[in-house]
């Protein structure tokens, strides 16, 4: 068995460089732990396969920020009346709006309301840039010069003032923690997640070192009576898991795996939702294992967006 510390990585270069498809693939491959299959050409076929299999939560792992020019009436009739639950919208000035969402949210709108000119124009703008994201959805003829849509660059988004920035800018984090922490993390609903699958990953295989990996519990000092007890329980559980794998599938064998099991999760959320997550999960009232990783992550978020996270970092220290 292997025992490791929790860790994280903020993956923001994909967004900054407009590499949306690569970002989606990188996140999707965490489920299968097949990152070794990433190549220069692999993103498009990977995404095509994901869409074909209906695993569309993978398509949530990117953020598209649009400038939409249309009259308020047009926008109300075509967009707001459908209550697009998974998009963000702000009015910047008369006739100019910022609308953001992940590719899945725009795919769903395009499927459900293909003739609404605002939605149809958004789809056309996005599919020109990223054909694979929309190639399975029929395009209706909705020609109108009443609506203009432009995909904004990361530099333009980062130039937003604070209220627009927290609402429309997302950050993606790759977090390695135990299964108890991810179970708590996914309760935050205004975010997208992808997690290493214990159904697909067979930890008895060579690529996992033929062993189960656990996260060192923050509660017990190494060498203490409690730590030794925990260690013995993990060894026993690993032995049972590997024995079960001889005659059964990973999804059956995993039923013996405990909360301490290491897992990887991709969390993609707006800065506003990250603020909420840090306020709750870095506070002294949070589960110590959750607080441990949140306090590790917070300085990195402050470094990237001081005006957004500095006051939270101060408040959780108090
Ligand atoms: C200290 C602590 C103890 C906890 N103990 C327990 C426990 O014992 N049992 C348990 O089950 N959970 C527990 N939780 C989890 C908690 O109940 C929430 O599920 C979790 O913190 C997600 O946060 P949230 O609901 O505030 O917001 P998120 O899901 O992160 O959503 C962000 C915001 O969006 C809005 N929102 C999202 N979804 C809806 C909706 N459907 N309707 C209306 N508004 C919405 C709200 O304004 C919300 O603040 C605990 C959390 C903490 C921090």
Instruction: List phi, psi (to 5°) of 2.
Output: -120, 140
Q: Residue of the nearest CA to atom 13 in ligand 1? A: 184
Q: Model confidence at 77, in pLDDT bands (50, 70, 90)?
A: confident
Task: Find the mean pLDDT for residues 238-244.
Answer: 98
Report the Cα 252 to chain-centroid distance in Å: 27
Please choose from 188, 273, 277 the residue to mutate so as to test ligand 1's pocket, defined by most ligand atoms within 8 A of CB: 188
Residue-level length of the chain: 318
In the block, which residue shows the tokens 């990195």?
Answer: 300
| Sheet-wide strand order for 7-10 | 7-10, 170-178, 262-270, 191-195
CB atoms within 10 A of CB 107: 22
For this structure, is 281 an active site residue?
yes
What is the DSSP pairing of strand 213-215 with strand 2-4? parallel
**pTM of this structure:** 0.95
Please choose from 280, 284, 291, 316 the residue to mutate so as to test ligand 1's pocket, defined by most ligand atoms within 8 A of CB: 280
Q: Model confidence at 138, in pLDDT bands (50, 70, 90)?
A: confident
Task: Find the mean pLDDT for residues 30-37.
Answer: 92
pLDDT at residue 318 is higher than 90: no
Measure the CA angle with vertex 161, ends 79 and 314; round to 5°.
115
Within 13 A of 125's CA, how many CA atoms are on the CB side? 20
pLDDT at residue 137 is higher than 80: yes
Report the Cα 125 to chain-centroid distance in Å: 23
pLDDT at residue 132 is higher than 90: yes
pLDDT at residue 144 is higher than 80: no
Among 168-172, 213-217, 312-316, the minimum mean pLDDT is found in 312-316
- pLDDT confidence of residue 141: 77
Q: What is the mean pLDDT of the chain?
A: 95
Q: Which residues contact 162 (CB under 8 A, 6 or more apart)?
A: 307, 308
Q: Residue of the nearest CA to atom 6 in ligand 1? A: 184
Q: Which residues approach ligand 1 with their CB closer than 6 A?
A: 187-190, 276, 280, 285-286
103 near 130, Cβ under 8 Å? yes
Cα(196) to ligand 1 centroid in Å equals: 23
- pLDDT confidence of residue 255: 97
Q: Residue of the nearest CA to atom 22 in ligand 1? A: 188
- pLDDT confidence of residue 134: 95
pLDDT at residue 284 is higher than 90: yes
Task: Report domain 2-12+170-317's class.
Answer: alpha beta
In the block, which residue shows the tokens 């730590």?
Answer: 227
Task: Find the mean pLDDT for residues 106-113.
Answer: 94
In the block, which residue shows the tokens 């702000």?
Answer: 90
pLDDT at residue 47 is higher than 90: yes
In the block, which residue shows the tokens 């300085």?
Answer: 299
pLDDT at residue 317 is higher than 90: no
pLDDT at residue 263 is higher than 90: yes
- pLDDT confidence of residue 84: 82
- CATH 3.30.1360.170 residue ranges for the chain: 2-12+170-317
63 near 149, Cβ under 8 Å? no
CA distances from 167 to 145, 283, 294, 306 (A): 28, 23, 21, 16
- pLDDT confidence of residue 85: 85
For the chain, percent of residues with pLDDT exceeding 70: 99
- pLDDT confidence of residue 248: 96
Task: Find the mean pLDDT for residues 207-214.
Answer: 96
Which of 29, 216, 281, 291 is flagged as catalytic? 281
Widest CA span in the chain = 73
Domain 64-168 has CATH 3.30.70: yes
In the block, which residue shows the tokens 């930890």?
Answer: 203
149 near 122, Cβ under 8 Å? yes
- CATH 3.30.70 residue ranges for the chain: 64-168
């Amino acid at each position: 068995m292997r025992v490791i510390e929790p860790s994280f990585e903020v993956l923001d270069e994909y967004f900054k460089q407009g590499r949306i498809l690569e970002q989606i693939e990188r996140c999707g491959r965490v489920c299968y732990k097949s990152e070794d299959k990433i190549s220069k050409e692999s993103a498009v076929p990977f995404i095509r396969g994901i869409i074909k299999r209906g695993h569309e939560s993978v398509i949530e792992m990117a953020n598209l920020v649009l400038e939409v020019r249309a009259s308020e009436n047009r926008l109300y009739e075509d967009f707001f009346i459908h209550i697009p639950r998974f998009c963000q919208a702000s009015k910047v000035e008369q006739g100019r709006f910022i609308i953001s969402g992940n590719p899945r949210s725009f795919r769903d709108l395009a499927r459900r309301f293909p003739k609404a000119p605002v939605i149809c124009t958004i789809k056309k703008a996005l599919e020109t840039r990223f054909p694979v994201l929309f190639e399975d959805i029929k395009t209706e003829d909705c020609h109108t010069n009443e609506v203009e849509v432009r995909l904004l660059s990361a530099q333009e988004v980062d130039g937003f003032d604070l209220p627009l920035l927290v609402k429309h800018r997302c950050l993606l984090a790759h977090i390695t923690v135990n299964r108890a922490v991810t179970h708590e993390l996914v309760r935050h609903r205004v975010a997208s997640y992808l997690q290493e699958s214990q159904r697909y990953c067979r930890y008895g295989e060579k690529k996992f070192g033929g062993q189960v990996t656990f996260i060192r519990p923050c509660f017990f000092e190494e060498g203490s009576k409690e730590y030794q007890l925990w260690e013995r329980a993990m060894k026993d559980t690993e032995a049972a898991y590997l024995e079960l794998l001889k005659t059964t599938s990973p999804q059956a064998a995993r039923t013996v795996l405990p909360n301490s099991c290491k897992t990887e999760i991709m969390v993609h959320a707006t800065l506003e939702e990250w603020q909420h997550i840090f306020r709750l999960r870095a506070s002294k009232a949070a589960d110590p294992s959750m607080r441990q990783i949140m306090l590790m992550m917070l300085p990195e978020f402050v470094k990237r967006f001081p005006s957004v996270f500095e006051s939270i970092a101060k408040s959780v220290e108090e």
